[in-house]
């Protein structure tokens, strides 16, 4: 009497189910920078530009330097760029950015206008939360940012009609203490 094996369909079904659950539970990164996953859930011209990975890397690098962090500070963090004026942030319905300990989300818009470059978003501010925490914005660096501006200013931005200026306003990043 010979033993027969059932067809190898069950593992395949299990893999399909696991894959569907992973897709439903969150987006996989579009790219990585120093091991940090980046999800681009935005159609802003800068977010679809081929130089986004390099620009995001240099912006995060400048922010990490300002806040005294390094890429290890962002281990297991995912950065997400989102269309819309606000991002989901527990307890803050009108947040342009949010860091919840694992996910760092930034809006690509402010006051109804789309930012021209990643440097204009609140990414530098949210990197601060990832590095030093400080949800009450007690650290005086929340009111400065001039060293970061000097390092990032003068870059090219993007609009539907092509390249544009990308002036940085520190008021987007600043937060009054307390």
146-155 confidence digits (pLDDT tens): 999 999 999 9
Coil, strand or helix: which one is 164?
strand
Residue 178: pLDDT band (50, 70, 90) is low
**pLDDT recorded at residue 172:** 66
For the chain, how big is the Rg over CA atoms in Å? Answer: 20
- Provide CB contacts within 8 A for 57, sequence distance 6+: 33, 34
């Amino acid at each position: 009497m010979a033993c027969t094996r059932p067809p190898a369909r069950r593992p395949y079904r299990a893999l399909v189910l696991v894959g569907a659950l992973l897709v439903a539970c969150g987006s996989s990164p579009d790219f990585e920078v120093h091991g940090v996953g980046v999800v681009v859930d935005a159609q802003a011209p800068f977010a679809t530009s081929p130089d986004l990975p390099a620009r995001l890397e240099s912006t995060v690098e400048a922010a990490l330097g300002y806040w005294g962090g390094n890429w290890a500070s962002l281990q297991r963090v995912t950065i997400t760029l989102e269309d819309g004026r606000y991002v989901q942030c527990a307890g803050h319905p009108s947040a342009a950015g949010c860091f919840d300990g694992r996910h760092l989300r930034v809006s690509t818009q402010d006051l109804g206008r789309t930012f021209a470059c990643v440097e204009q978003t609140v990414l530098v501010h949210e990197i601060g939360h990832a590095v030093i925490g400080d949800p009450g914005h007690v650290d005086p660096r929340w009111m400065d940012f001039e060293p970061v501006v000097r390092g990032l200013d003068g870059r090219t931005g993007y609009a539907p009609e092509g390249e544009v200026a990308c002036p940085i306003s520190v008021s987007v990043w600043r937060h009054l203490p307390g």
